[in-house]
Structure 1
Amino acid sequence: MFNFDWQRILFMSIAFLIGAAVHEAAHAWSAYRLGDPTPAKDGRLTLNPFVHIDAFGFLILILTGFGWAKPVITNPSMFRGNRRFGMLQVAIAGPIANLLLAALFALIAQAGIPYFNFESPIVFYVVYINVLLFVFNLIPLYPLDGEKVLRSIVPIRQLGFFYKMETYGPYIILLLAFTGLIRFIYPLIYGVMRVLGVPIV
């Protein structure tokens, strides 16, 4: 069930630390810029990966290839302007930051810089993990960002369904990860990587 290729796990772990730090810091800075001081009080306005890493989520990454970081706590009642639009901005900030980081590494990898190309494991895995985080976090299941994006745009009368699903979402995600059913997102991951210029067969 588990494939313990330790070299692969090492590069994946380094790439995940980078991607998770960028993802959660983007959430934190987005909320802070909207007027919510909570991320600053919690010390989340940083790219230090060890502030953002969730030990259990990191273990699941090693076991299954999918993981998560410690969620940034926000207080939407502190947001300036439209609260639901603020929730949308904060939710989408993390995945967009991962996509931009993947695109940056992919662009540099194609610039002809010695040793900084897709044959370098760390370069490849930084692109791969950040695209994975982009796609994975847009799955519309609590507590992923995709669910928060949907919650911020559906009619208010439909929010009851989302509150009920908060109980089941984490278990569904774990079930998908441990059974391998989560692989349904692989075609999306590889599709995005091809668009970025990664030579995927």
Structure 2
Amino acid sequence: MNLLRELSMGEIVSRIAAVLIYAGLQGFVLAGLARLLGDRRPNYDGRLTPNPFIHLSVWGAMMAALFSMSWIRTIWYDGKTNRLGRWGIVVVVLVGLAAMVALVPLLDLVRPLALMLPRTGGYAVLYVIGQLQVIALASALLNLLPIPGLVGGGVLQAIWPEQERRLRRMEPFGLALIIVAIVAGWLPNLATMLMPYVQLR
């Protein structure tokens, strides 16, 4: 069982730091894309900010600390005001997740700057960058699932725009299913699969 694998305190702390950065970026990118397409709802809901604590999901942060996979609090969209209509929500979801994948090679550009820091601080920054790359990739793949509570659940908002209340009620069950699947090992550990790729960069 993945939960039983040994984790050092350094790993947990670096993953928590990485998931804070991930949550801030992912939430801000999704809200920003929605706003660019004319949807003001994320802005009205206070989501158009890079502040990670606005976007952070507590359960998502716990899964990041233990399994390097995460998600943010659900962003609710208004397809009626989106310039592309309901398809605009799908565009926001897919482009928002693609942005997290694109972040991985961009983070490699920061690595030389970390080496300019004092040795201990530089190593800590490099470790957080590595964890962020793994979390960003693994979470992007996980969040493709169209399950309420995940970023991909936004597709359901596009399909059933009048069913927001029902989708909100389904969200805890969707996230519970994901957590059980990750902990029980029913869902492949995406982070473990991606770790060698990131380490080779």
TM-score class, shorter: 0.7 to 0.9
Structural RMSD (CA): 3.4
TM-score (structure 2 length as normaliser) = 0.75
Residues 18-57 of structure 1: CA deviation (Å, up to 9, x unaligned): 1111111111011111111111112211111111112233
Unaligned 5+ runs, structure 1: 157-162
Residues 115, 102 of structure 1: alpha-carbon distance in 2 compared, 3 angstrom cutoff: same
User: How many residue pairs end up in the alignment?
Assistant: 186
How far off its partner does 1:113 sit? 5.0
Of structures 1 and 2, the one scoring higher in RCO (CA 8 A, sep 6+) is 2
Q: CA deviation at 1:73?
A: 1.7
Match of 2:101 in 1: 99
Contact 1:92 1:149 in 2 (8 A): no
Structure 2: how far apart are the matches of 1:43 and 1:171? Answer: 26
Cα distance, 1:186–1:59 mapped onto 2, change above 3 Å:
closer
Q: Which residue of 1 aligns with 2:190?
A: 185
Pick which of 124-133 and 166-175 moved more.
Answer: 166-175
- Give the Cα separation in 2 of the matches to 1:184 and 1:121: 20
- For 2:35, what is the secondary structure of its paired residue? helix
Please give the alpha-carbon distance, in whole angstroms, between the structure 2 residues aligned to 1:93 and 1:76. 16
Say whether the 8 Å CA contact 1:22–1:94 is kept in structure 2: no
2:18 is equivalent to residue 18 of structure 1: no
Amino acid at match of 1:115: L
Pick the aligned partner of 2:65 from 62, 67, 83: 62
Q: Distance in 2 between matches of 1:86 and 1:115?
A: 41
Tell me if structure 2 keeps the 8 A contact 1:118–1:124.
no
Q: Which sits farther off after the overlay, 66-75 or 44-53?
A: 66-75
**Percent identity between the aligned chains?**
23
Assess, with a 3 A threshold, how the Cα gap between structure 1 residues 151 and 45 changes in structure 2: closer, same or farther.
closer
